[in-house]
Structure 1
């Protein structure tokens, strides 16, 4: 173990600068903000070299680390960090995903991209850091796994391993086994991320199948006046929120999609000789438009002409009349 920093041995006015220097030597460039820069800034940083990867532990007063796009452009080794929060609660966000990390939980940080991480009061986190080249996984796989770590059956095993890694590393300090431990930990992390990413792919595939089923169901029931998003969600045992999320992933609004499908069906009926005897209002009502004026406005917006003009355009004269 290498002691990178212990602010107990420093004057209070020197601690922030020392903290920044130690943090930059152990990890990638970022902005450091102390919760109370004029107050009791204190920290201890420990570092273990485990062959190619390393282990970094930081414990101290409240901080906020911000890695900006500018920091990314400055350059740094292409690395990631799998961290376990060991004291307090941390707040982590990256690529639009926010996570409250409680004591004894894992978080995955892609160090090649911007992120923010913070805790208030006294806290501690320790991170296993490894180069992408040594891990052997693509950035895409890592990012797919980041939000689904808990779905891996290896989560608890890796969590326990990382939690106990400092004490084991201390016992192996100065031996060849330290590098072997780093290689074994790398294999565990690779297995965790691969299984989490595969679960994500399976989840996406299942979501696509569910979307296809819902689309088929809705089209079969377009003429039902009580076909609502709530009914569609209930029929497929999902929440209304998840239903909207499925359509949003396909860049669709569920309500607008339903209206578009109903307008298309109404247009078919208006153009069909088989429905010549039906009034426009009756056809509109058949497809859920009980207000004929509303239907006419919607139809014109979709087709560029009124329902009557559409019918006249598509229906040939009755030669028997």
Structure 2
């Protein structure tokens, strides 16, 4: 097993981001990269070569990566990339389809597909990346492709086995000898194949009503993660959950509500909670509205009054003052 380590502190600040771009080009695929921290980028990456499989634990500052058609034409290693998020948040978009990932989520990409990824939010992100050639997966045609762009749970079942293996391998590789690399790579290929096959079989096993309930939970979770985005809309939600907009509306109709109504109710509830929070009493009402996706304060005030029969300012004031009774 061959291991290499890159620490940005070993280079002058001006050279760090360019070298990190080169490292990702070698371990994953060539990328266009930008970061607000490019002038003094902080990153630590270890690369473990396990035969044809590569594992690379890394901790790095927020950045945005783009895998463009031009770069694909220039160089395509023909690999699947899996990433286990250990700390922080990440996301990816394929045109209008967008997915967000959090800790313990596994996500899948294909080096032959254009994609934009971002990572880190306001803090550094810690991940374990896995690269494996597509031809190593002994799966029916198209099955692995269905895993691309969807969060796979790393906290249960086969996903937990894979996540635990990657985490353990990434934390300490000193106990393995040179001949162990290809064996460990084979184990990883088998775990990935098992996870993909299990996920596909679980989908087929769901009866229609159970599938609808599962989808409704997934959609609601996506909405909750993206309430802050004023551009959150049915088209975005449907694309992220791999369904049509019309089917999305039917899911909510079966729940006795609408997509827009559900988003508005969740935003208002989050805003109401913040207005009652003593720790946020110095934050203007307009700022609270904006942090939950309301671009216009007047629209927020009208919606809040319609929902709770009181204005946001009156509600906040009542929560601060003791009840005269």
Normalising by structure 2, what TM-score? Answer: 0.59
Root-mean-square deviation (CA, aligned residues, Å) is: 3.1
State the match for 1:48 in structure 2: 48
State the match for 2:190 in structure 1: 187
Give 1:201 deviation, angstroms.
4.2
User: In 2, Cα distance between the equivalents of 1:239 and 1:165?
Assistant: 47
1:131 matched to 2:152? The reply is no
User: In 2, Cα distance between the equivalents of 1:238 and 1:32?
Assistant: 42
State the match for 1:64 in structure 2: 64
CA offsets, 1:104-150, max 9 Å, x none?
22111122211122223311221111001112235621122332634
For 1:161, which of 156, 162, 165 is the aligned residue?
165
User: In 1, Cα distance between the equivalents of 2:183 and 2:251?
Assistant: 51
State the match for 2:80 in structure 1: 80
User: In 1, Cα distance between the equivalents of 2:172 and 2:70?
Assistant: 37
SS of the residue 1:169 aligns to: coil
The aligned runs of 1:134-149 (5 Å cut-off) are 134-137=136-139, 140-146=142-148, 147=150, 149=152
For 2:181, which of 175, 178, 191 is the aligned residue?
178
User: In 1, Cα distance between the equivalents of 2:82 and 2:168?
Assistant: 14
Native 8 Å contact 1:29 1:67 kept in 2: yes
SS of the residue 1:3 aligns to: strand
User: In 1, Cα distance between the equivalents of 2:24 and 2:114?
Assistant: 16
Native 8 Å contact 1:148 1:200 kept in 2: no
For residues 113 and 10 of structure 1, do their structure 2 counterparts lie closer, same or farther at Cα, with a shift above 3 Å needed? same
User: In 1, Cα distance between the equivalents of 2:13 and 2:141?
Assistant: 40
SS of the residue 2:174 aligns to: helix
Structure 1 residues without counterparts, runs of 5 or longer: 211-228, 243-321
Give 1:157 deviation, angstroms.
2.1
SS of the residue 2:38 aligns to: coil
Structure 2 residues without counterparts, runs of 5 or longer: 213-246, 260-325
Q: Which moved more, 1:107-116 or 1:142-151?
A: 142-151
User: In 2, Cα distance between the equivalents of 1:6 and 1:106?
Assistant: 25
Give 1:238 deviation, angstroms.
5.1
User: In 2, Cα distance between the equivalents of 1:189 and 1:118?
Assistant: 23
Report how many aligned residue pairs link the two structures: 217
Native 8 Å contact 2:78 2:112 kept in 1: yes
User: In 2, Cα distance between the equivalents of 1:33 and 1:79?
Assistant: 23
User: In 2, Cα distance between the equivalents of 1:155 and 1:109?
Assistant: 16
Native 8 Å contact 2:78 2:133 kept in 1: yes
User: In 2, Cα distance between the equivalents of 1:173 and 1:140?
Assistant: 36
User: In 2, Cα distance between the equivalents of 1:233 and 1:97?
Assistant: 19
Give 1:10 deviation, angstroms.
1.0
CA offsets, 1:233-261, max 9 Å, x none?
79x9656669xxxxxxxxxxxxxxxxxxx
Native 8 Å contact 1:62 1:123 kept in 2: yes
Native 8 Å contact 1:4 1:22 kept in 2: no
User: In 2, Cα distance between the equivalents of 1:17 and 1:186?
Assistant: 31
Give 1:55 deviation, angstroms.
0.3
Native 8 Å contact 1:148 1:196 kept in 2: no
Native 8 Å contact 1:33 1:64 kept in 2: yes
Native 8 Å contact 2:35 2:63 kept in 1: yes
Q: Which has the larger radius of gyration?
A: 1
User: In 1, Cα distance between the equivalents of 2:256 and 2:146?
Assistant: 24
Normalising by structure 1, what TM-score? Answer: 0.59
User: In 2, Cα distance between the equivalents of 1:145 and 1:70?
Assistant: 24
State the match for 1:21 in structure 2: 22
